[in-house]
Amino acid sequence: MCRWIAYSGGPVYLEELLFKPKHSLIDQSLAARSGETTTNGDGFGVGWYGTGATPGLYKGTQPAWSDENLLDLASQIKSPMFMAHIRATTGTAIQRTNCHPFRHGCWLFQHNGVIYDFQRVKRDLVLAISPRLFPEISGSTDSEIMFFLALTFGLQDDPIAGVEGMIGFIEDVGRRHGVARPLQMTLAIMDGQTLYAFRYSSEGKSRTLFYSESIAALRQYFPDVHTFSDDARAVVSEPLGTVENAKRVWIEVPESSAVVVAAGAVNVTALRPRAPI
Amino acid sequence: MCRWIAYSGGPVYLEELLFKPKHSLIDQSLAARSGETTTNGDGFGVGWYGTGATPGLYKGTQPAWSDENLLDLASQIKSPMFMAHIRATTGTAIQRTNCHPFRHGCWLFQHNGVIYDFQRVKRDLVLAISPRLFPEISGSTDSEIMFFLALTFGLQDDPIAGVEGMIGFIEDVGRRHGVARPLQMTLAIMDGQTLYAFRYSSEGKSRTLFYSESIAALRQYFPDVHTFSDDARAVVSEPLGTVENAKRVWIEVPESSAVVVAAGAVNVTALRPRAPI
Amino acid sequence: MCRWIAYSGGPVYLEELLFKPKHSLIDQSLAARSGETTTNGDGFGVGWYGTGATPGLYKGTQPAWSDENLLDLASQIKSPMFMAHIRATTGTAIQRTNCHPFRHGCWLFQHNGVIYDFQRVKRDLVLAISPRLFPEISGSTDSEIMFFLALTFGLQDDPIAGVEGMIGFIEDVGRRHGVARPLQMTLAIMDGQTLYAFRYSSEGKSRTLFYSESIAALRQYFPDVHTFSDDARAVVSEPLGTVENAKRVWIEVPESSAVVVAAGAVNVTALRPRAPI
Amino acid sequence: MCRWIAYSGGPVYLEELLFKPKHSLIDQSLAARSGETTTNGDGFGVGWYGTGATPGLYKGTQPAWSDENLLDLASQIKSPMFMAHIRATTGTAIQRTNCHPFRHGCWLFQHNGVIYDFQRVKRDLVLAISPRLFPEISGSTDSEIMFFLALTFGLQDDPIAGVEGMIGFIEDVGRRHGVARPLQMTLAIMDGQTLYAFRYSSEGKSRTLFYSESIAALRQYFPDVHTFSDDARAVVSEPLGTVENAKRVWIEVPESSAVVVAAGAVNVTALRPRAPI
């Protein structure tokens, strides 16, 4: 299990969301409140859109709480759209190629959750990945396979359809192998313009996911911070801030749904997973 | 804050104490019960006496829970006397030279605790280290300074006197700088023949420390393990095993005292800290 | 390109072969003489047979020349059969799961060389790996795929046949993809009893490989070292020792052949690569 | 021995100087031409001035040639003044706190060279560091001690005088300890406005140092790169680019002198080392 955050809005220094809030993502790496595991110390990563053609990536295999480079970079790098992830492995190796976010062209992807009985279904999943994408697989996680399956099923043309196809296919393969509840996930996906977030699980009891509705709420929550623009929105696997404030600021994403954030507008739609024929 | 273990007895594979017990040291790296910090993920180390002239050392800066090398080495290395340590930094850098145990000739040393206001007193402490030992300082922790002070004050001739001198000196320097309670510590020190453990704090409320009295107790505690010899003894900063068993097997080391384990005999004596003149 | 060493004989400390010789394997990590690349700083590993059921592994992603743990372990661990490897990546990530040796049950495997146009042929190679072995793939190298292919083609029953099948299959797949010279390799394989070494390349111009014929030669070469038993043999990708001595001590393995070392006897046989039907 | 680069001019992406040139700094980490050691694989660092109050730092202990984060960051971070360093240790540990550049407030500092017999003179050098600065010492290198001595001797008010005092003091202490030629160095020092570079050695035979005189030269050298402003200047421990071009573009810094680069103007002055009284 892992924790993550995704941001869209006016450019802010990464530290505004990664380090400064109470119960920030970095705090959660040492002690998460609502996750399956309290410690998320098996690596981390941040992906951001800057001035380059592709988004930047900074990942490490050590715990995020003790990485001095991250502290410095987060106070130097400003971005209008970024995501960050802290990892608690569900069994695969702790290595940079297993750290989120994953990148393909201008797309970033990160995941919290698990493909159950992954070693049993992995071969069938890998075989379904487009041969054109196959050489790009560089790690050994279920998450990276999910990304390449979603890409195979059209994520770049229609992100929601790509993810629905990926979910449907993994559930199909899992059930063929006798796995009752094949998938558990929250996802963040970005292309530099739009932020997509997903909450889904085969059992209908998904990992938590929240979004911030308006800048008024964000500003109330971060009273000392005036850097957020009117269209600033964040999606998080666990509320930042004090427990009391959290309820007022963060809105839970419903089961089996997608959240689309573009230019400050938030749209929530139901997911219809189906295996590509 | 940190957690540690020290063993003396018939040769056992390191894994018998590091990995196999319930609530083992490696489990404690993810979730300690009685420490100041629950996560001890800022590096680790193990030092053992084998067939070489000096004890072996294996240390890493990543969390112990995810180090695959440690898992392998602990199942291959057998030793009659060893110590192991998992670190939660009190502020100094996460680097191998700050990981315990520290080694000087045939001596090993590890520490749980803190010199309060260390940055304020560090210069005076460093100046008191024997110029002959000075070039050996390679890290930046309070713990390594404690070791070199104890060596300066005669640890190799009389370990208890060396430690008492170190405690007294640190308290003197601290109080001269206005630090009310300068020192908090449990220590394990070994030379390959004898295991010394210490519990002390300026405030008289020291970090926990326990020892196992007899092999009967250890055997009762590890029913499946027949590898322990009659003279096997362990000292730990936090009881291994289930909470219920722990009370029956582990004896708390009294405040301000030293435990000396040699050939299966355990001797507890009171500490008399005094600054060397 | 990489450098490696393999040893079979009376138990010696690893340091006798890894650190003590002139132009030792560790020296070669900084400056190899006859390799394609002079620096082999992209990780390392050592696998050895001790008292446990499976061989031990110690691997790291940093350069071998600066790993203080390796220095200590090599002076503590004694073994009658071991292999060690220093890596210069041909493009895949620097991560522990890509470091040699690879292990499967009691088998160890290490490789110097390359599958040319690996990203083009990888998918077909991976699909040929036994579905039973598939979940064990944890890295992204050509070398690990070679190991799993050899296992798929019977390495555990007949190591030479398994390797011949692997070579033949990789050449078949490569040529089907238009790769003129698909494979370049030297290999060391062990099961704790027998040491197998292989030299082969599609172009008939393989990476160098040498073995030491007799203990008399080894003793002449290491005049100060009396620890080697009468049946001690080593196989190396590059001669240890001074350039002058090297010619007298080390015998070049012929192109396209296997070297089998068991109980001090060395047997060289020709390879007959053929794709399994 | 190490290699380094320092830049002052219009904002450029770090990659323009770190990765893109032929025989770039990153190439030099694998194979330097004119250094004492060909491989500089014992860590690296880059420090840059961005929009924050203090310069940013990114450092790592692995070789620069294989760090994927550095590759990404260098294509995202743009700066008008930065320095970068690749390390080949002269004996001290490979850890982040020993990697250059070192930072103090708005100042950055990096060094190529060595204090000879450092372990013999270290204690006397450390004692001369201002007690106010003492707690900031976090590594174990001669280079960091040089920085703190220069700060102690007034670097922030007059960088050249601070460095002259540091040189004089180290030579004094060295000679008192019987070290014939105590110091060997090239340095880069910056405060965000001005770039200072130094070349000096007690023996009068210093490590190489070069600067680029005019943008015309730089443009001739990097024909494909139009990003450099008219006031762009670089100082390097080893010429970038092809061997032929190097002679036309790079001017050797004379022995025992300082180079001051401010707003495109380059000033070379002689050094007058003297120990502070």
Reported confidence tier of residue A35, pLDDT bands at 50, 70, 90: low
What pLDDT is stored for residue C39 in this prediction?
86
Maximum C-alpha span of chain B? 53
pLDDT tens figures, B124-173: 999 999 999 999 999 999 999 999 999 999 999 999 999 999 999 999 99
d(CA D31, CA C40): 12
Query: With contact defined as beta carbons under 8 Å apart, do D169 and D149 qualify?
Result: yes
> How many CA atoms lie within 13 Å of D203's alpha carbon, on the beta-carbon side?
14
Residue in B76, B82, B106, B138 to test binding to C, most C beta-carbons within 10 Å: B76
How many whole angstroms separate alpha carbon A91 and alpha carbon A75? 32
* Rounded Cα–Cα distance for residues D47 and D102 (Å): 8
What chain C residue is nearest to A91 in terms of C-alpha separation? C138
Query: What pLDDT is stored for residue C193 in this prediction?
Result: 96
Question: Are D61 and C62 within 8 A, CB to CB?
Answer: yes
Contacts of A31 in chain B (CB under 8 A): 38-39
How close is the nearest chain D Cα to the Cα of A129, in Å? Answer: 25
Can you give the pLDDT at residue C14? Answer: 95
Residue A217 and residue A13 in contact, taking contact as beta carbons nearer than 8 Å: no
Beta-carbon separation of C41 and D38 below 8 A:
no
Rounded alpha-carbon distances, angstroms, from residue B63 to A70, B60, C205, C260? 18, 8, 45, 41
CB D86 within 8 Å of CB D28: yes
Q: Which of B163, B55, B143, B162 is nearest to B107 (CA)?
A: B55
- Identify the DSSP state of B247: H
Spell out which chain B residues touch chain D, with contact meaning CB-CB distance below 8 angstroms: 92-93, 95-97, 119-120, 122-123, 126-127, 131, 134-135, 137-140
pLDDT at B221: 62
Query: For D57-61, which contacts have Cβ atoms below 8 Å and span 24 or more sequence positions?
Result: D57/A68, D57/A69, D57/A72, D57/D101, D57/D103, D58/A69, D58/A72, D58/A73, D59/A68, D59/A69, D59/D96, D59/D99, D59/D100, D60/A69, D60/D96, D60/D99, D61/C62, D61/D94, D61/D95, D61/D96, D61/D99
Q: What local confidence, expressed as pLDDT, does residue C259 receive?
A: 97
Q: What is the pLDDT along chain D (277 residues), one digit of tens a residue?
A: 699 999 999 999 999 999 988 888 888 888 776 655 678 889 999 999 998 789 999 999 999 999 999 999 999 999 999 999 999 888 889 999 999 999 999 999 999 999 999 999 999 999 999 999 999 999 999 999 999 999 999 999 999 999 999 999 999 999 999 999 999 999 999 999 999 999 999 999 999 999 987 666 666 666 655 677 888 899 999 888 777 777 778 899 999 999 999 988 999 999 999 988 7
pLDDT of C37 reads: 66
Pick from C123, C138, C139: which is nearest to A134 by CB?
A: C123
Interface test with D, best of A62, A72, A96, A98 (most D CBs within 10 A): A72
Pairwise CB contact (< 8 Å): D63 & C61 = no
Angle of helix C159-176 relative to helix C142-152, nearest 10 degrees, comes to 120
Minimal Cβ distance to D58: which of A51, A57, A72: A72
Evaluate the CA torsion angle B40, A141, C166, C178 in order and state its sign: negative
Single out the residue of B95, B116, B79, B97 nearest to residue B5, CA to CA: B79
Question: Which of A113-122, A240-249, C125-134 is least confident?
Answer: A240-249
Shortest CA distance from B137: residue in chain D? D140
Q: How far is B56 from chain C (nearest CA, A)?
A: 6
User: For A31-56, what is the mean pLDDT?
Assistant: 85
**Mean pLDDT for the stretch of residues A149-173:** 98
| pLDDT (0 to 100) of residue D132 | 95
Cα separation, C69 vs C67, whole angstroms:
5
Q: Please give the pLDDT value at position A217.
A: 65
CB contact under 8 A, A51 and D75: no
Per-residue pLDDT tens for B61-101? Answer: 999 999 999 999 999 999 999 999 999 888 889 999 999 99
Contacts of D41 in chain C (CB under 8 A): 39, 41, 63, 66
A190/B1 Cα distance (integer angstroms): 40
Q: How far is C6 from chain D (nearest CA, A)?
A: 26
Distance from CA of C275 to the nearest CA of A (A): 22
CA distance A11 to C90: 39
Structure confidence at residue C31 (pLDDT) = 77
* 3-class SS of residue C20: coil
Neighbours of B176 (CB within 10 A): 11
Which whole-number Å values give the CA distances from B41 to A26, B84, B113, B265, D51, in the listed order?
14, 14, 15, 34, 33
Q: Write out pLDDT tens, residues A188-237.
A: 999 999 999 999 999 999 999 999 876 666 666 666 556 778 888 999 99
Contact D29, D238 (CB under 8 A): no
Confidence category of residue B220, pLDDT binned at 50, 70, 90? low
Which of the residues C62, C67, C86, C98 would you substitute to probe the D interface, choosing the one with the greatest number of D C-beta atoms within 10 Å?
C62
In the block, tokens 């390359």 appear at: C114
Residue A277 in this model has a pLDDT that exceeds 90: no
Residue D37: per-residue pLDDT: 67
Average pLDDT over residues B252-274: 95
Provide the shortest C-alpha distance from residue C63 to chain D (in Å): 8
The single-letter code of the amino acid at D243 is: V
Phi then psi for A30, rounded to 5 degrees?
-85, -35
What is the rounded CA–CA span in Å between residue B130 and residue B142? 16
Which residues from D are below 8 Å from A79, CB to CB? none
Least confident of B20-29, B198-207, C180-189: B20-29
Q: What is the DSSP string of chain A?
A: --EEEEEEEEEEETHHHHTSSTT-HHHHHH--SSSSSS---S-EEEEE--SSSS-EEEEESS-GGG-HHHHHHHTT-EEEEEEEEE---SSS--SGGGSSPEEETTEEEEEEEEETTHHHHHHHHHHHS-TTTGGG--S--HHHHHHHHHHHTTTTT-HHHHHHHHHHHHHHHHHHTT-SS-EEEEEEEE-SS-EEEEEEETTS-PPP-EEE--HHHHHHHSTT-----TT-EEEESS--S-HHHHHHHEEEPPTTEEEEEETTEEEEEE-------
Residues of chain C above pLDDT 70, percent: 93
Structural tokens at position C230: 């009468």
Q: What is the mean pLDDT of residues C70-97?
A: 94
Is residue A200 within 8 A of residue A256, CB to CB? The reply is yes
Of A48, A59, A76, nearest to D52 by CB-CB distance is A76
**Does residue C225 carry a pLDDT above 60?**
no
| C84 has pLDDT over 90 | yes
Task: Provide, as residue numbers in chain D, all residues whose Cβ is less than 8 Å from the Cβ of C42.
Answer: 63, 66
User: pLDDT tens digits, residue range C233-276?
Assistant: 999 998 887 777 777 788 999 999 999 999 889 999 999 999 88
Residues of B contacting chain A (CB within 8 angstroms) = 30-31, 38-39, 41-42, 61-63, 66, 68, 89, 93-94
Closest CB to B140 among D97, D123, D126? D97
β-strand partners of C250? C212
Strand partners, A115: A183
Mean pLDDT value across chain C: 91
Q: What's the rounded mean pLDDT across residues C182-190?
A: 98
Among chain C residues, CA nearest to B77: C77
Provide the token pair at B225: 């393990």
Alpha-carbon distances of C170 from B114, C17, D18, rounded to whole Å: 59, 33, 38
Inter-chain residue contact A39 with B30, CB threshold 8 Å: yes
Instruction: Report whether A60 contacts A45 (CB < 8 A).
Output: yes
C217 C-beta neighbours (distance < 10 Å), count: 16
Residue C223 pLDDT more than 70? no
Q: What percent of chain A has pLDDT over 90?
A: 73
pLDDT at B275: 82
Which two structure tokens, joined as six digits, stand for A96? 């940079």
Q: Chain A: give the shortest CA distance to residue D180, in Å.
A: 39
Task: Report the gap between the CA of C15 and the closest CA in chain B (Å).
Answer: 12
Q: Please tell me which residue, B246 or D2, carries the higher pLDDT value.
A: D2
Each as own residue / partner, the long-range contacts of residues B223-228 (CB below 8 Å, 24 or more positions apart, any chain) are: B225/B16, B225/B20, B227/B10, B227/B12, B227/B13, B227/B16, B228/B9, B228/B10, B228/B12, B228/B16
**Shortest Cα distance, chain D CAs vs residue B132, angstroms:** 9
Inter-residue contact A268 to A259 (CB < 8 Å): yes
Contacts of B38 in chain A (CB under 8 A): 31, 38
Cβ-proximal residues to B34 (8 Å cutoff; 6+ apart), any chain: B208, B238
Do the beta carbons of residue C19 and residue C77 sit within 8 Å? no
Assign residue C241 a region: left if phi > 0, alpha if psi is -120 to 50, beta otherwise?
left
Of D41, D62, D94, the CB nearest to C39: D41
**Which two structure tokens, joined as six digits, stand for A105?**
């062209």
Cα(A101)–Cα(A111) distance, rounded to whole angstroms? 8
Which 3 state secondary structure label does DSSP give C150?
helix
Residue C239: its pLDDT value, please? Answer: 85
Q: Any bridge partners for residue A83, and if so which? A: A6, A47
- Cβ neighbour number for residue B180 with a 10 Å cutoff: 10
Whether residue A94 has pLDDT greater than 90? yes
- Helix (H) or strand (E) run with residue D218 in it: helix D215-221
Cα four-point dihedral sign C52, C53, C54, C55: positive
* Cα separation, A160 vs A163, whole angstroms: 5
A134 vs C contacts (CB less than 8 Å): 122-123
pLDDT, position C35: 58
At residue A247, does pLDDT exceed 80? no
Residue of A nearest to C91 (CA): A138
Q: Which residue has the tokens 């350069």?
A: C63
Q: Determine, for residues D76 and A75 on separate chains, whether the beta-carbon distance falls below 8 Å.
A: no
Q: What is the pLDDT of residue B36?
A: 59
Question: Is A97–C96 a contact, with Cβ atoms under 8 angstroms apart?
Answer: no
Neighbours of B148 (CB within 10 A): 23
Q: Cβ of A33: how many Cβ atoms within 10 Å?
A: 14
